[in-house]
Copies of this chain bind each other. A is one copy, B any other.
Amino acid sequence: MARIKLSELNRLDSGGFTAALDNVFEYSPWIAEQAAGGRPFNGVGQLFAAMKAVVEALTAERQRELIGVHPDLANKPQQAAGLTTESKAEQGSAGLGHLTVAEAEALTRLNADYRAKFGFPYIVCARRHTRDSILRDCTRRLQNDEATEARRAIDEICRIAALRLDQLVEADDRLPVTGRLSTHVLDSHGGKPAAGIPVELVELAELGESRLIARTVTNDDGRTEAPLIGGRPLPIGRYELTFRMGPYFASRGVPLSEPPFLDVIPIRFAISEPEAHYHVPLLVTPWSYSTYRGS
Contact = CB atoms under 8 A, between A and B. Distances in A.
Given A188-B292, A222-B295, A291-B288, A261 B272 contact: yes
B264 A270 contact: no
A257 B283 contact: no
A198 to B, nearest CB: 15
Interface in A4-29: none
Nearest to A132: B259
A41 B131 CA distance: 61
Taken together, the copies of this chain in the complex come to 4
A134 to B, nearest CB: 13
A265 interface: yes
A189 interface: yes
B287 A191 contact: yes
Nearest to A222: B295
Contact of A260 (B188, B260, B266, B270): B270
A149 interface: no
Contacts of A237: 259
A209 interface: no
Given A266-B268, A268-B265, A285-B285, A295 B186 contact: yes
12 contacts: A186-B292, A188-B292, A191-B287, A221-B295, A238-B259, A258-B272, A260-B270, A266-B266, A283-B288, A288-B292, A288-B293, A290-B290
